[in-house]
Amino acid sequence: MSGEAIGVICVSLALFMILLRLSIGLSLIIVSFMGFVWIANAKAALSMIASVPFAFVGDWNLSAIPMFLFMGYVASATGLTTGLFHTARLLLSRLPGGLAVSSVGASGLFAAASGSSIATSAAMAKIATPEMLKHGYHPGLATGVIAAGGTLGSMIPPSILLLLYGYYAEVSIGQLFIAGIIPGILTMVFYSAMIIIRCKLNPSLAPPVDDHPQLREILLALRDVWPLPVLIMSVMVGIFVGFFTPTQAGSIGALVACLIAVARGAMTWRALRSAIRETLHGTAGIFLILIGTTMLTNFLALSGLPTSISAGVLDAGLGTYTLLLGIAVVYVFLGMFVDSIGLMLLTLPIIMPLADAYGIDLIWLGIIVVKLLEIGLMTPPVGLNVYVISGAVGNAVALNTIFRGVAWFIVTDLICLSVIVAFPELATFLPQFIK
């Protein structure tokens, strides 16, 4: 049997194991080990098992992952994000669907601090969704906007997905972070515009909120929000002007988060323990997937499958946009069943050779891939963000109502993605200013 055929069998087996809800990292490790034994021998497979995990643990560049996770968990555990929705509500509640628009803005800022879609969705579901339901908002809108707003954590820097993509694709992580700013803001604008238009055409979706905040009330609310912009700027400005690398930025962000929490009197031993525990848990899960993906990449290179796929696509004479459409279809379909980190790392070994063959800008491709992964966080039957929201609101809103609510945001995301594909400069303009 040819190496390419063995590669197809092993990749199919990995997907089957993942669909059975086996750990993604463990599935990839098992399949890669079996593939190496099949094509080479057991000695080569055991050598890979021994060397790859050690190489990852000793890789300095990956230290940014636990640091950015710790930064986000410290911000959440010490209450640095609690005033976001209240402030956004005071400023935006007079708009049609103002509370939903406020949720988009608050989710964007929270995402910039946490870098995690799940953390953003979980936090905002407890803060914003009850407020919208109390004011008579349609349950689908009140929950759908939080599920969609949570996906902003995948795009708005510092993003764990962009960091992992940059590491794997060997692209400047700093440039990727900067590249995510305009698409992230554009997504927030598209979400907000869609909400306003829908609520203007159908006011029953979001009854007007009769808020008339005084200037003093707004200023007091802004006082509670200052830690988050300071935290975000300390990371992004330092990267943009070259004061430190993205790897160092993770440590700077974690330190600044701790200092702000101490200055506000919010840093307790309980909050610190919680942040450390969540960071260790999240880092271990991500590293297991990374180890499995590296093993899979080594196995696929041995099988020759990526090279054969690239040659087949080139022989077919597909255009760049046709190729991107095919990639989008694959991501949207697999996104229904596989979580975002696992899906990205599972598919990159096959997509990267195609991107190289077509001369596609890897920063632009990274933004497109992350945008597609955002959509996967909302699509049924997995739709991880939807289940996070469902768990947070309990029986107050049915699961199928939440999925119907996010459908509008999925369509909006597809429109936004089309704009990014049509105008690559939206992703590539800012990165040219940093090295």
Confirm if 328 and 367 have CB atoms less than 8 A apart. no
- Name the average pLDDT for the chain: 84
* Percentage of the chain modeled with pLDDT above 90: 17
Rounded to 5 degrees, φ, ψ at 113 are: -90, -35
pLDDT at 365: 95
pLDDT digits (tens, 9 = 90+) for 394-404: 777 888 888 89
User: Residue 28: which of 368, 338, 365, 369 has the closest Cα?
Assistant: 338
User: What 8-state DSSP symbol labels residue 177?
Assistant: H
Domain presence at residue 196: yes
Residue 421 has pLDDT above 80, yes or no: yes
Three-point CA angle 377, 181, 237, nearest 5°: 130
Domain presence at residue 408: yes
pLDDT at 423: 94
pLDDT-based confidence at residue 390 (cuts at 50, 70, 90): confident
User: Residue 360: which of 306, 331, 324 has the closest Cα?
Assistant: 324
pLDDT at 195: 94
pLDDT-based confidence at residue 435 (cuts at 50, 70, 90): low
Domain presence at residue 27: no
User: Residue 340: which of 385, 406, 294, 299 has the closest Cα?
Assistant: 385
Domain presence at residue 206: yes
Residue 317 has pLDDT above 80, yes or no: no
Domain presence at residue 376: yes
* Percentage of the chain modeled with pLDDT above 70: 96
Half-sphere exposure of 67 (CA within 13 A, CB side): 19
* Dist CA 96 CA 262 (whole Å): 39
Domain presence at residue 94: yes
Owner of token pair 């229904």: 336
pLDDT digits (tens, 9 = 90+) for 174-188: 899 899 999 999 999
pLDDT digits (tens, 9 = 90+) for 29-70: 898 888 888 888 888 888 888 887 877 777 777 778 888 888
pLDDT at 211: 67
331, two tokens: 């991501």
pLDDT at 416: 95
Domain presence at residue 40: no
Q: Please enumerate in sequence order all residues whose Cβ is within 8 A of that of 363, keeping only pairs 6 or more positions apart, or say none.
A: 171, 172, 175, 176, 179, 427, 428, 431
pLDDT at 302: 82
Residue span of the structural domain in which 138 resides = 72-291+304-433
pLDDT at 382: 67
Number of domains composing the chain: 1
User: Residue 240: which of 295, 180, 323 has the closest Cα?
Assistant: 180
- Can you list the alpha helix ranges (DSSP code H) found in 58-151? 64-77, 84-92, 98-114, 117-134, 139-150
Per-residue b/e over 209-222, b at no fewer than 16 CB within 10 Å?
Answer: beeebeeeeeeebe
**Average pLDDT in the 225-235 region?**
79
Residue 97 has pLDDT above 80, yes or no: yes
**Average pLDDT in the 365-386 region?**
85
pLDDT-based confidence at residue 371 (cuts at 50, 70, 90): very high
Domain presence at residue 18: no
